[in-house]
Structures are given as C-alpha cells and as structure tokens.
Amino acid sequence: MTPGLLVRYRVLWLVLCLVISALLASALSSIRFDTRISVLLGDNDAYVNDRNQLAAEFPNRQDISIAVSSASGATNVFSAPILEALGALHREYRRIPYTTGASSVVAYDSPFGEIGLFPGRFRNFHEIDAKAMQAAREKAMADRFINGILVSPGADLALFSAPLSLSTSTSAQNREIADAISAVLRDLRQAHPNVAFAPGAEALFETSTRDAMIQDLTRLLPLVILVCVLFICYCFQSVRHGACILLVTLLTIICTVGTLAWADIALNSVSVMAPLVVVIIAVANTAHILSVFRQQLADGVTSAQAMQQSLAFNLRPVSLAALTTAIGFASLNYASAPAISQFGSIVALGVVFAWLLSFLSFPALVMMAGTAVNDIRLANAFLRYCQHLVAHYHRVIFYGVIVAGLIAAALLPLNKPDFDRLDFIDQDSPLHAYYALLSERMQRGTVMNYGIVANNPANSTPLPDGAIDPEFLQRVDELSVWLRQRPDVLDAASLVDVVKTINDTLEGSQAGDNVDNYRLPESAELVEQHLMNYVSVQQDSYALANFINTDFSTIRLFITTTPLSNQGIIDLDVAIGEFFTDAFAGDAMRLMRGSSTLLFARMDRTVTVELIQSYLISLVMITAALTIGLRSLYFGLVSVVPNLLPATLVFGLWGLLVGTVDPFVMMLFSISIGLVVDDTVHILSTYQRQRQQGLPVDSAIQAAVTKAGPALAITTAVLALGALILLMASTLYFQQAARLLVPIVVLALILDLTFLPVLLSRLEKARERLAARRQQAARP
C-alpha cells in the first residue's frame, strides 16, 4: 500500500476501519476475566502430574477462615470481647451459603472428642472468672491442635474456620459466598466495634482479584488515555489533532479487546495490563505521523501533500518499530506461565491493530480536523539541549556510558528470583489484611502436602492396603521425626499420628494410664480395625479421607513450615527428596509432591530462566528484522547497543538497590527491548535517508535527530506518563512495572539522542577512514 493510495482513498479506509471496529465492539460486553491462580502456573513442571493425581485422590473442600483480634492492637484473645465475637460468629456463620460447620477455641472439633474450652457457651463470656479464663488459656496453648492453628503462639490472634460443601466453585458461587461474608462481618463489626475481623477464603481471593482487575482496567485505562491525549494536545497545541489521536486509540482498544471477546479469551491478572500498553503504543504511532505532518505543513505544502510525505517518511520506521515491538512481546510465549504468554500475545495483537489504524484511519481524521502549524512544545527545547551535550561532551558521553554499562552488567547477577502470589491481591482489601495478620502473628509459613504411595514391587503400581502395613507406617514415622527436627519445619502430621492416637485411646483405656500406647499397632488388621472404629466417630475436621485414599494405597503427609522464601521451600523439598531416597532406597514406597506452593516456588525460577531466554531470542529476532528492514547488517548490529543499554542500566541498579526479581519483573526486562527499539529505528532510518540524500555524517545525524526527535521525545513522555499512572494500581506488580518501565524508556530516549549520535559518528567516520585507506591501497 503506497502513501498515495492511503491519502487518495482515506475516507474509504476510515469507513472500513469504523465498520470493523463496530463489529468487534459488539462482543465487548461478553469479555471474561480469568482470576484462577492456576493461570500463573505452567504445565511443564515435573511435579504437576503429582499435584493433579493427589488432588484427584484427596479432593479438598474449600473453607472460610476469619482472623479475629483486638482492633486497638495486640491483646489476649482469651478475653471476653474476643470470645464474645467468636461466639457471635458461631451463631451467624450459617448465613454464609455452603457452610457445613464451624470451629474456633469457643467450640472446636478435636480428634480426642472434645468440643471446646467452654462447652455450650456462645455468649456471656464476661461472666467467666479470671482463674477459669487463665486455665482455659493454659489448656489451649498446651494443645497442638489449638496452638498455632486456632490461636497464635502469642495468643494475640484467634482463627474461626468454617468448611464448605464445595471442592470447586463457579464465579457466581464465589460472589455469593463473598457477599455473604461481607454482610456477616459488617453486622459483627457494628456489634463489636473493638474487635477486628479479617476474612480469608478462596472465594474472596477470586472476587478480590476480579474486582481489582476490573477496577484497574476501568479506572486506569480511561486515565491513561486522557493524560496521554491531553499531553499530546499541549505539545502539538491542537485540541482537534489530540481528538484524532484519541479516536484512533479508542478504536485500537476496541479492536484488541473485541477480538479477545469474539475469540472467548479471558483477561487474567497479568494480561489485564495489556490494554494499557496498547494505548501507549497507539498514541506513539500516531504522534510520529502527526509530527512529520506538522513539519511538512510548516514548509508551506498542502495538507494532502504534507500527509503523503509524512506517510512516506514514517511507513518504514513505524512499520519496523511495530514489527520489532510485536516480536518483543510475542517472545513472551516462550514462558510456560499462561498468564505471561497471553499478555505477550494480546499486546502483539494490539500492536498490529495500532499499526493498521494509524495508517488507515488517522490520515483521514487529521485532514478532516484541519491544519495547524504551531511549534511543538517541550520537544524542541529538549532536543536542543541534547544536541548541546553531544557537541560539547561527546567524549564524556561515549566513555561514561560504556563504563556505566559495564558496571551495570556486572551488577545484574545481584538480582535473585523471588515471587509472592499474594502480590496479586489488592493491598487495600480485607483479604490482604488476613494474610498479613497470619504472617505477622501465627509465626508459621505454608503447609506443604506430600503423597506417600505403597508400591507393588512386582509392577510399581499402587498396592491396595499397602499404606496400612505397620512397616510402611513406621517408615513414614521416621520421615516425620526427621522433619520435626529441622529448623525450617514446625510440624509434620500424617495417618501415623491418627493411628497412634486411636491406639492410645483404645488400648490405653484397657491397659491403664501407666502404659505408653501412643504407638503403631503390630498388624495391618489391627490398623484397619482402628480406622474403621475411627470412621464411626470421626469429626469433619479430621476425616479419615483427608489422610488416606479409598483403597488404602496412598497416605498424605502434611508439613507446616516456618516462614520461608521461595528458595527455602525448594531447598526443603530437595532435602525431603534426598532423605526419602537415601533412607528408603529399595523399599516399595514412592514420594509424590502435591503442594501448589512448591510449584509456585519452582515456577519462579523456571519462568525467570525462560524469560531471560526469551529476551535473548527477541534480541536476535529484532536485530534480524532491523537488518532486513534497514537493508544493512551494519546498522542492524549497531542497533544492538542502544537497545541493550537501557534495561541493563536499570536492572543493574535494581540489583544493587532491591536485589529480588519475580517473573513479572523479569517480564518487563524481556519486553523492554520491544519498547525501546522504537527510538533506535526512527533515528537510524532517518539517518540512512539523510545520507542517501548526500549529507555528510555529522549533518545527517543532526538532521535525523531534528526530524525524528520531536516525535520520539513526545512518545517517550507519553509512555512514561502512562506507566506512571500504574503506580495507582491495586497490585504490587503493576506498581513495579511503573518503577521499571519509566526509567527504561526515559534512558532509552536520552541514550538515542546523545550516546547513539556519538557512537554513530565515531563508527561512520572510522568506516570512511577505512574505505579511504582501501581506495588508496588499491591505486597503482
């Protein structure tokens, strides 16, 4: 498509764009949001099958947990106000749908048959005297099923839990549960103003994440568009041209999100940021076309001629920039995390729409809006200052940037992987307060679960009844004892503890109090008999199905850790695997990992490596694209330096000041080249054009900066402003995106306007000297 055809049939192209946009917009109301935490996990981990098999063998029911504490600070939960609040929860929890029971220190299920510290009491706790209250506290803190589970070790936090009848739930059910929890707690807060309630539940996680996504999208997207367009209006001194950019931007978003809706692709916790990125890219494309259009008008040509010349000037660099940006984002598909790969695909799709609409719809809109030849504000003054620096400090710029780049590259290894999935929770939500309280006061980390399978030695298949063999259970007990001795483990529990407790209860009543019967029976038949007796009296909280599967071939081991980092979780798992292999080598036992927490920890490291690899792949592909687009291997290789430097400098400093990166910070590193390459493409492409017109090196460089610089300065400012707005987002990783993207794109502009001209001048003059020597040597 030639610039002449784009201008001549501009109205036809505009109508076509509007019709397609309207068609895609018709599906916008059906856009879905996928808030499942599983979209953050890839399916290529070696332990995914283990986790899925154990989930099928032991379907866990969801539950609701509410942290109850004093609203005025740390206090003793064994006090009338806290206990009255817990009693009120026991009376009101049935208002929450799908609940099947409740447990707290007021009334709890115990494997020993006890029902609570205060039998039959749900109110009037202020009538209990201090001595009885102290006795209840001492009893509770000595009970391993209460201390650290229902009450914090410091007795400054109590937990109320209510299991649900649901193993999985729909979004509608989650909303129903979440709304009911909010209604119950609203009433309780009014009745107990001195007590703080912080709820936690899978339904709350889903609805909180969904609400935060919708809030960020509906609040930040219009703000990004408004701020960017107002800035454009100010710089170009034209509201009409700003309105044209606004319309193209809106059409780009409509087409991008509408395509997702038609394809039934849901936005997730990461990809919800994609429309914000697409907005900035759409504004950048149109700003380049408008900038050169305005420059041509200033030379006195007609509007049609100015637009045709602008399109001719921008067709190659804007197309190259769109291609390389799409490559940078599409490279995220190399990551195994679905949320990250989908984000890259959506932005790449948006880049294509932004490119098409910039050339097909924008020319007609600008020409219909009329002409304006005012100077471009801010950009020209900034360009003059950069040119002044290049003219007077070229040696300092050249060597200073090289030294800074080498130092930053040396600092990159200081960045260590770390990931906390709770960053996806709105920091202002009650759910975030719940996890913060548990982390601060319960003094425990996560609960990891493993499956231990009794294998048939003949064919390595699960052996029915093999998990109730006393020798098998003794091996599991040895593992539990070893675990409890580790400093990173608080407790380990399994069927062994259940069987020992039953044996102590039954045999102890026959043999007398002086006989230690907290041990494993000597035969599988007796173990099975104990378990059958237990089933008849079991409590829901300690149901046998939680510990052993139906054919008695697999048991579960639960490990409660101290607060651990991701690497600490991985190290613990490695130690467990090594102990299991060394201690039980040759035995008919198999270890299965069933914890999503472990998968998340492993994902952190795996996806980080994948994103580094995707960055290298995108760098190679972008360099190849520039080599082909600029028709020069030399210029393709030259572009590598300014494309690498911004991210290297920023992440080197990040390693020195912060030192931790999660997959979503690494995602920014991976896509940064796709964003910063825009500046390099326009400078090199314009420089090539000027050289082809016969200008010497320095004059061509100055002309390239003068011609392409204004649009680059404006688009970078737009990108930085749009990214800064992400600081207002609900989730931490959006805020990190702002902290990293802003310095990267600003540095990219500064380097392309200062370091790249200096580098280009030195390289070009060196090439000229080398060519002159060769010509001289070739003369007879």
User: Band of the pLDDT at 542, cuts 50, 70, 90?
Assistant: low
Domain check: are 569 and 615 in the same one?
no
> What sign has the CA pseudo-torsion 642, 653, 659, 436?
negative
Residue 731 DSSP label: S
Q: Residue 440's pLDDT is what? A: 79
Domain check: are 654 and 731 in the same one?
yes
> What sign has the CA pseudo-torsion 66, 72, 74, 80?
negative
User: Band of the pLDDT at 400, cuts 50, 70, 90?
Assistant: very high
Q: Highest mean pLDDT range out of 378-387, 469-478, 533-542, 596-605?
A: 469-478
**Burial class of residue 421 (count of CB atoms within 10 Å of its CB; 0-12, 13-18, 19+):** middle
Of 169, 166, 161, 54, the closest CA to residue 541 belongs to: 161
Q: Return all residues near 352 (Cβ < 8 A) that are at least 6 apart.
A: 322, 326
Give me the chain's average pLDDT, please.
83
User: Band of the pLDDT at 538, cuts 50, 70, 90?
Assistant: low
Q: What is the tens place of the pLDDT at every residue in 337-379?
A: 788 888 888 989 999 999 999 999 999 998 888 766 666 667 7
Domain boundary among 534, 564, 594: 594
In a domain, 49, yes or no: no
Domain boundary among 594, 612, 647: 594
Count other Cβ atoms within 10 Å, centred on residue 554.
25
* Cross-strand partners of 64: 162, 201
Residue count (the chain): 780
Domain check: are 567 and 638 in the same one?
no
User: Band of the pLDDT at 189, cuts 50, 70, 90?
Assistant: very high
Domain check: are 263 and 407 in the same one?
yes
Q: Residue 496's pLDDT is what? A: 87
In a domain, 420, yes or no: no
In a domain, 554, yes or no: yes
Domain hosting 573: range is 447-594
Domain check: are 534 and 397 in the same one?
no
- Determine the average pLDDT of the residues in 429-445: 77
Domain check: are 474 and 451 in the same one?
yes
Count other Cβ atoms within 10 Å, centred on residue 343.
27
Helices 697-725 + 202-236 axis angle, to 10: 140
Q: Residue 21's pLDDT is what? A: 92
In a domain, 97, yes or no: yes
Domain check: are 761 and 614 in the same one?
yes
Domain check: are 617 and 744 in the same one?
yes
Instruction: Give the tokens for residue 516.
Output: 């230690």
pLDDT exceeds 60 at position 487: yes
Domain check: are 404 and 453 in the same one?
no
Percent helix, strand and coil across the chain, each to the nearest 5: 70, 10, 25
Instruction: Give the tokens for residue 136.
Output: 């209840």
Domain check: are 409 and 260 in the same one?
yes
User: Band of the pLDDT at 509, cuts 50, 70, 90?
Assistant: low
Domain check: are 404 and 269 in the same one?
yes
In a domain, 329, yes or no: yes
Is-above-0.85 flag for pTM?
no
pLDDT exceeds 90 at position 597: no
Q: What is the tens place of the pLDDT at every residue in 87-104?
A: 899 889 999 999 988 888
In a domain, 716, yes or no: yes
Q: What is the tens place of the pLDDT at every residue in 641-679?
A: 888 888 889 888 888 888 777 777 777 777 777 777 888
Q: Residue 121's pLDDT is what? A: 62
Q: Highest mean pLDDT range out of 71-75, 180-184, 410-414?
A: 180-184
In a domain, 54, yes or no: no
User: Band of the pLDDT at 262, cuts 50, 70, 90?
Assistant: very high
State how many domains the chain has. Answer: 3
Domain check: are 338 and 376 in the same one?
yes
CA distance 281 to 323: 12
CA distance 256 to 274: 10
Contact 192, 160 (CB under 8 A): no
Q: Residue 402's pLDDT is what? A: 92
User: Band of the pLDDT at 15, cuts 50, 70, 90?
Assistant: very high
| Sequential DSSP letters for 521-574 | -SSHHHHHHHHHHHHHH--GGG-GGGTB-TTSSEEEEEEEEPS--HHHHHHHHH
CA distance 393 to 575: 57
Domain boundary among 575, 594, 613: 594
In a domain, 251, yes or no: yes
| Sequential DSSP letters for 383-450 | HHHHHHHHHH-HHHHHHHHHHHHHHHHHHGGG-EE---GGGGS-TTSHHHHHHHHHHHHS----EEEE
* CATH at 640: 1.20.1640.10
